[in-house]
Each structure stands twice: as structure tokens, then as C-alpha cells.
Amino acid sequence: MAKLTFRTDLCKGCGLCVNVCPKHLLVLAKDKLNKKGHSPVEITDMNQCIGCAFCATMCPDCIIKVEK
């Protein structure tokens, strides 16, 4: 099982990681804002993550860390 960690305080809510997730596990938070005023990315079910790291590769701000 893979483990994703997010530096949500630096997320600008661009959604690029959400669009590339092959399992559709990433979403932008609907009820939270980070200190920059953006909706940060969240994972809906960590157990379903396959650890492909497409999200981390796509993130322009390098806020996603994938560990296998």
C-alpha cells in the first residue's frame, strides 16, 4: 500500500493532480481552506492508492510525497 502526504499549506488548488489520478482518489477539499485561501487536495481512500506517483509528478509546487 502506498502512502501519500500533502503539504496542504502550500497547495494552490490547481487540480492538476486530481485530473491525473487513474483511480480518481484525489479531490479538492470542499470544506477547508489553507493559509493561502485555496482549497487543498485530499485523498478519499488511502487504501486504494496504487502508488503510481502521477499526482506528485504533475504537481507544479511539489507538495505531494508518495511512499511505497
CATH of residue 25: 3.30.70.20
Q: What is the C-alpha to C-alpha distance for residues 14 and 29, in angstroms, rounded to an integer?
A: 12
Nearest in space to 2 (alpha carbons), one of 32, 23, 18? 23
DSSP state of 44: S
Torsion sign across C-alpha atoms 30, 13, 49, 68? negative
With contact defined as beta carbons under 8 Å apart, do 43 and 4 qualify? yes
As for how many domains the chain has, the answer is 1
Domain of 28 in residue numbering reads as 3-67
pLDDT at 68: 86
pTM: 0.92
**Tens digit of pLDDT at every position of the chain (68 positions):** 899 999 999 999 999 999 999 999 999 999 999 999 999 999 999 999 999 999 999 999 999 999 98
